[in-house]
Amino acid sequence: MEKLKISPENITKDLLPQAFGKRGMIWTASLLVLCGIGLFAYIRQLTYGLEVTAMRDYVSWGIYISNFVFFVAISLVGSLITAVFRLADVHWSTPLTRIAEIIAVSAIVFASIIIIVDMGRPERFWYLMVYGRVQSPIMWDVIVIATYFVISLLLLYLPLLPDLKILLKAKGEGVNKFQKMYRFMGSFWKGLALQEKINNKAVTILCITIIPVAFSIHTVTSWLFATTYRPGWDSTNFGAYFISGAFLVGAGGVVVAMYVFRKAYKLEKYITEMHFDKMGKIVVLLALLYLYFNINEYLVPAFKMKKPEEAHLNQLFAGEFAPLFWFAICVGMLIPIAIMLFKKGRKPIPMFIAGVMVVVGAWFKRYLIVTPTLLHPFLPMYNVPQSYHHYFPSWEEWAIAIGSLAGALLVITFFARVFPIIPIHETITEQHENAE
């Protein structure tokens, strides 16, 4: 981390949670409205059943599952920024760790919610628990998501303990009303040497544990597809392909969040251009890696052009899904690479634009992984209504999907309102160590 030359008092003052300003209120209200519309659409789905969606016999996984895969993907960033960098003793990422962790937690929460939405009747989730088969990858996914959620929560909570002590002592509009919560969560933290030792050890254990669990969560998600014999999914490449894509979208999400928090909370002294520069290099590396897997995933089947895969690939490359496919490839990978490959492109504003492109491209990429395959089964579709040959989500599906994305952003927003989004204690400690 760069030498900050800021007094601990000023760091604390700068990084304490702040009350929402006018823009913050509008932002939160907008998210609440989107969540409300999503909730209304979900109530309609509960009332009338999955019939309100555009999903039918063939496209039984629509944007709900695309959204689920997107959420699981973006949640992986917690393990990358926090665990991998911490274990590699990379200190410049300290201001980004909590951003990454809250993105991970909020994304994994909404991944779980959206999968229940996709089930139609929510009690089916209970049946999954009671009657679930351990042979099913869906069961593995449920187990691994629950595990990853708990680990991510612990990884968010344990490094927060020293900051809770600071928050308890702090006075101000931003923290006063949450004192009871801070007391409940961390009044026992006294900063004792033994406490610090146990905490540091626990965080290290968590960092080691979260990496295989994070790899499992997205590998298992990829197996939901790859264990099914269908064009476009019948691939041994899927685990690595999904993981690389997940790291890319997660890193892109962190870049966007970095820029927004930096701007909203005036954190220029803490999230510096150096952070954008380094994150830019990481995103380029991840984008190139994901591009490599994409080439493998599409070029090899296209070279062989097996008959059952032909319709699916043609639809992607030059058919109905071609605009979306090339949009996802260009906007999600090629253009961000072109922007961030150069130093000027790794400045905050171009980085923010590239980060948004990566995230948007990644969402549509998940849609392209899920839907076109379902429209091209190995056995041709005969004697089915014309509507079964196409899929375009109903307004209820859009509302629920957008509502879930808004919900994830709302969790992050509320977290940043209540807790410091950059670790205060760690920043002070690292500055002190740097000064020495």
Partner 1 sequence: MKMLNNYKLLLVGLAVLCVSSAITQDTKPSLLVTVSYRLANNTVPSVSIFTKVKINKKFIDVPGITVKVFLGQEKEANLLGIVQTNKYGNGVVSFPVSVKSFWDTVSHFTLIATSEANKQYESASGEASVTKAKITVDTVFTDGIRSIVATVKAKSGNDWIPAPDVETKIIIKRSIGNLSVGDAETYTTDSSGQATAEFKRIDMPGDANGNIMLVAKTEDNELYGNISIEQPVKWGAPFTPLNTFDERTLFATRDKAPIWLLFLAGSIVVGVWSVIIYLARQIIQIRKLGMEDTTDVKQ
Chain residues that interact with partner 1, rule: CB under 8 A: 8, 131-135, 140, 143, 147, 150-151, 154, 157-158, 161-162, 165-166, 169, 187-192, 194-195, 198-199, 201-202, 205-206, 209, 213, 216, 425
CB 83 within 8 A of CB 210: yes
Nearer to partner 1, 28 or 199 (CB): 199
The token pair that represents 394 in the structure block: 């109903």
The token pair that represents 38 in the structure block: 């999503």
The token pair that represents 131 in the structure block: 């009657």
- Nearest-approach distance from CB 58 to partner 1, in angstroms: 23
Nearer to partner 1, 28 or 195 (CB): 195
Nearer to partner 1, 176 or 204 (CB): 204
**In 265-329, which ranges are continuous DSSP H helix?**
273-304, 307-317, 322-329
CB 255 within 8 A of CB 276: yes
Nearer to partner 1, 262 or 425 (CB): 425
Dist CA 312 CA 375 (whole Å) = 8
Q: Which residue has the tokens 């109905």?
A: 320
- 189-192's contacts with Cβ under 8 Å and 24+ in sequence apart are 189/161, 189/162, 189/164, 189/165, 190/165, 191/162, 191/165
**In 92-160, which ranges are continuous DSSP H helix?**
94-118, 123-131, 137-157
Sign of the four-CA dihedral 315, 321, 323, 325: negative
Nearer to partner 1, 30 or 204 (CB): 204
Question: How many other C-beta atoms can be found within 10 angstroms of the C-beta atom of residue 290?
Answer: 26
The token pair that represents 309 in the structure block: 């895969």
Dist CA 12 CA 302 (whole Å) = 56
Nearer to partner 1, 187 or 387 (CB): 187
Question: How many other C-beta atoms can be found within 10 angstroms of the C-beta atom of residue 130?
Answer: 7
Task: Give the chain's length.
Answer: 436
- Nearest-approach distance from CB 189 to partner 1, in angstroms: 6
Dist CA 29 CA 176 (whole Å) = 22
- Nearest-approach distance from CB 200 to partner 1, in angstroms: 11
- Nearest-approach distance from CB 161 to partner 1, in angstroms: 7
- Nearest-approach distance from CB 212 to partner 1, in angstroms: 8
Nearer to partner 1, 69 or 161 (CB): 161
